[in-house]
Structures are given as C-alpha cells and as structure tokens.
Amino acid sequence: MTQTLLQMHAIAPDNYVAFTFFVGTMAMMAACVFFFFEMSNLDKKWRTSILVSGLITFIAAVHYYYMRGYHLETGESPIFFRYVDWILTVPLMCVEFYLITKKAGAKIGLLWKLIFASVVMLVTGYIGEAIYGQETQSWFWGLLSGIAYFYIVYLVWFGEVAKLANNAGAAVKQAVRTLGWFVLVGWAIYPVGYIAGTAGGFFGVPMFQGLSMDIVYNIGDAINKIGFGLVIYALAQSDKSTTQNA
Ligand SMILES: *C/C=C(C)/C=C/C=C(C)/C=C/C1=C(C)CCCC1(C)C
C-alpha cells in the first residue's frame, strides 16, 4: 500500500511533464507570496493591481498542485483543471488592464469587452480540446478561439486600451506597451500547444508534433502569469520613485 502510494506520487526523472507541473506549483507559490508581501511597500493607488497579481498566481498555484497530482495518477492531460484555472485567471488579467487604464478614464464597458472576448477564446478552446481533441475538426474551434484572441490583441495595441494608455502618462503608457507584448508574443505560446496537442493541427496540417501540449502550456503560464505581475510591480515601483523625487 505504502509502496504503491509512493510510486504513484514520485516523479520519475524523465517525466518532464510532471516536473514542469511541480516547478510551476513552486514558482506560482513564490510569486504569490512576493506580490502579497510587497503590497504594503507600494503606493496605495497600485495596491489593488498588485493584489490581483497575487490572486492570479495564487489561483494558478492551487491548480498546478492539482494538475500535477492528476497527471501523475492518470498519465493524462488535466484539460478540465487547466481551463478552470484559465477561466479564472485570464479575466483577472483583463481586470489588470482595466485598473491601470482607469486613471486615464477607462469605463467598465471596456472591462466587459475584454472579459467577454477572453471567455469566448477559452470556451471554444475547451470545446476543441475536450470534445474534438482527437478529431481533425479541432482546428475549427482553434480558429474561433484565435479570432477572439486577435480581438484582445487589437484592443490592447490599437483599440481602447491603447488610446487610454496614450493619455495616461509615460509610466502607464510604457507598462501597457510591455503588457501588450505579453499578449502578442507570450499568449501566442498557447495556440502552439493547442496545435501540437490536438488532431486538427494547423488548419488540418500537422505541426509541432514532437512537442508536449502540457509542457508548452506550463511554460506559457510561467512567463505570462508571473511576468505580467512583475510588469505591474515595476510600474508601481517606478511611480513610487517619481512621486518621492518630485
Ligand atoms: C494564465 C493563463 C493564460 C494567460 C492563458 C491564456 C490562454 C490563451 C491565450 C489561449 C489561447 C488559445 C488560442 C488562441 C487558440 C487555441 C486554443 C487556445 C485556448 C489554447
């Protein structure tokens, strides 16, 4: 009994998928502790943003812990927990955009647009993976998801978010620019995982075949969830020093 339990939970040295779930859990926990503790060192007006960064990494840490266990016990991809994590954390990242552009006059309608687009992106992605993952038509769901994704990219780079950021002062403008790169490049890691892990490939053409979907997603999450939070942390820091110097 003890023997089987141990075997079930030990990570074999060549199980890279389980290893990245394990490291992901630790990284998310560490980032979460960092954001929560730093909150009190920052200017009041940035505290909610840092709190949200802490919540994003906290939610991810809990899901990574579960996903690690699920993967070790079943040997399968934890599709359901993955998408529960994303459906909670991606809208929170939209809240970050809203919070930092709010000072330049962002309306609540902008937040709903971002959240709606991210829910469409994730629900279609989930259908494509969970229901049609083994069938070629999964490319169609990936395409729908991709359209919603590009709408978010559009809002951040050329639409309302970009316009508001241009009127919000140099620090916010710079931060929104950097977050825009995360959305354009960092988030583009996810469709690569999807193409690698579903039968539909890239519009029906098999691509990225040797890659593990979970490893790609885990790398994407580490970059985007922790990186996003650090950009906001840097913004809050730079803003603090300008007020002190003034
Ligand atoms: C913390 C989690 C984040 C930032 C997750 C982001 C997920 C995406 C940007 C997923 C996008 C997808 C596509 C654009 C097409 C294929 C299906 C998805 C859902 C993997």
pLDDT in tens, 152-183: 999 999 999 999 999 888 999 999 999 999 99
Contact 50, 42 (CB under 8 A): yes
Residue 86 counted as domain residue: yes
* pLDDT for 245 beyond 50: no
Higher-confidence residue of 9 and 244: namely 9
Q: How far does residue 191's CA lie from ligand 1's centre (Å)?
A: 6
Q: Is the pLDDT of residue 30 over 90?
A: yes
Which residues are near ligand 1 (CB < 6 Å)?
86, 89-90, 121-122, 125, 142, 145-146, 149, 187, 190-191, 194, 221, 224-225
pLDDT attached to residue 13:
86
Asked whether residue 5 carries a pLDDT value surpassing 80, the answer given is no
Identify the burial level of 11 via C-beta atoms within 10 angstroms of its C-beta, where 0-12 means exposed, 13-18 middle and 19 or more buried. Answer: middle
Task: Out of 14-18, 222-226, 238-242, pick the least confident.
Answer: 238-242
Q: Is the pLDDT of residue 24 over 90?
A: yes
- Of residues 13 and 79, more confidence is placed in 79
In a domain, 117, yes or no: yes
Per-residue CA distances from 6 to 16, 26, 68, 73 (Å)? 18, 20, 15, 11
Q: How many Å lie between the centroid of ligand 1 and the Cα of residue 238?
A: 30
Integer Cα distance of 189 and 217 in angstroms: 7
Distances (CA, A) of 46 to 41, 53, 181, 217: 10, 11, 21, 29
pLDDT at residue 1 is higher than 60: no
- Reading the block at residue 101, the tokens are 């552009």
**183 lies in a domain?**
yes
Q: Is residue 221 part of a domain?
A: yes
Number of domains in the chain: 1
Taking the centre of ligand 1 as the mean of its atom positions, its distance from the CA of residue 179, in whole angstroms, is 15
| Residue 8 pLDDT grade (very low, low, confident, very high; cuts 50, 70, 90) | low
Which residues, 6+ apart, have CB-to-CB distance to 235 below 8 Å?
46, 49, 100, 171, 172, 174, 175
In the chain, the percentage of residues whose pLDDT exceeds 70 is 94
2 Cβ contact partners less than 8 Å away, ≥ 6 residues apart: none
Bridge partners (DSSP) of residue 202 are 205
Instruction: Give domain status of residue 166, yes or no.
Output: yes
- Please indicate, yes or no, if residue 246 is contained in any of the structural domains: no
Lowest mean pLDDT among 113-127, 132-146, 198-212: 198-212
Q: Is the pLDDT of residue 128 over 60?
A: yes
What is the CATH classification number for the domain harbouring 32?
Answer: 1.20.1070.10
Average pLDDT over the chain, rounded to an integer: 93
Confidence of residue 104 (pLDDT cuts 50, 70, 90): confident
Q: Domain range spanning residue 24?
A: 2-241
Rounded to whole angstroms, how far apart are CA atoms 138 and 181? 27
Reported as a pLDDT band with limits 50, 70 and 90, residue 228 is very high
* Residue 135, domain member (yes or no): yes
Long-range contacts of 144-151 (CB under 8 A, 24+ apart): 144/120, 145/120, 145/121, 145/191, 145/194, 146/191, 148/117, 148/118, 148/120, 148/121, 148/124, 149/117, 149/121, 149/187, 149/191, 151/117
Question: How far does residue 7's CA lie from ligand 1's centre (Å)?
Answer: 33
Token couple for 203 = 């519009």
pTM, entire model: 0.93
* pLDDT-based confidence at residue 239 (cuts at 50, 70, 90): confident
Report in angstroms the alpha-carbon separations of 111 from 40, 156, 190, 221: 26, 12, 22, 22
Q: What is the DSSP string of 172-202?
A: HHHHHHHHHHIIIIITTHHHHHHHHHSTTTB
| Closest ligand 1 atom to 195 CA | 16
